[in-house]
Amino acid sequence: MKKSMLFLLFFVFALSLAITLTSNFPGLLKINLFFQSDINFQNWSRSQVNQDFRNLMGYLNNPFQKELVFDNLYVSDRGINHFKDVKFLFQLNYSLLLSTSSVLLYLNRKKLVTRDQVREITSLIKWMIISVCVMALLFFDKAFVLFHQVFFDNDDWMFDYRTDPIISFLPETFFFLCFLLILNCQIKLDRSSILT
């Protein structure tokens, strides 16, 4: 198999797995809410907000759930449209994870990839990730906006806290933490290849 194809396979697998692990990390939202100012909880308690976070994650993760329902918070039509777009990305990520892991397991079983190839590729991926990490840390605000401009073809992601109060509980620092966790998972996954 060509090195470029193997590199792409392993990179997409590791990235999609890192995204999956991060987005489903049970403590992530609790940590986020723990450090929130009490001012944000004048209308809803922490437990109410946490419940609606669980509702949101259930909607994003479940391909068969067609409607987003909050028990406490309210959401605008623009907010609903944005979460539909996010749900599509979640499902695309799971599809990539399933397909790339299947191919890599097949290659491993058929002995079509050597350990030396895997070590070389994971080393390249690691340094690429470190470079991206440094750049994103230095310019996270711009990277955050660029991400949304690339992956969303509308401006529904620009929430107004008055019509979509959930954004008050999802500050930019929350997404920065998600970004760090994804990179951390990615580097660790590259070091512990499933093919070795």
Q: Would you kindly state where each structural domain of the chain is located, as residue ranges?
A: 3-191
Taking residues 133-157, what's their average pLDDT? Answer: 89
Whether the model pTM is above 0.95: no
* Contact between 180 and 32 (Cβ < 8 Å): no
Contacts 24+ apart (CB under 8 A), 76-83: 76/160, 76/163, 76/164, 78/156, 78/159, 78/163, 78/164, 79/156, 79/159, 79/163, 79/164, 79/166, 81/154, 81/156, 82/152, 82/156, 82/157, 82/159, 83/56, 83/59
Give the pLDDT score at 49.
Answer: 92
- Do the beta carbons of residue 9 and residue 125 sit within 8 Å? no
- Interval 34-84: pLDDT, tens: 878 788 888 999 899 999 999 999 999 999 999 999 999 999 999 999 999
Cβ–Cβ under 8 Å, residues 105 and 193? no
Q: Which pLDDT score is estimated for 193?
A: 53
- Of the pLDDT bands very low, low, confident and very high (cuts 50, 70, 90), residue 191 is low
Arithmetic mean of pLDDT over the chain: 88
Give the mean model confidence (pLDDT) for residues 160-182. Answer: 88
Residues listed for the chain: 196
Confidence band for 182, pLDDT divided at 50, 70 and 90 = confident
Report yes or no: 26 and 20 within 8 Å, Cβ to Cβ.
Answer: no
- Confidence category of residue 122, pLDDT binned at 50, 70, 90: confident
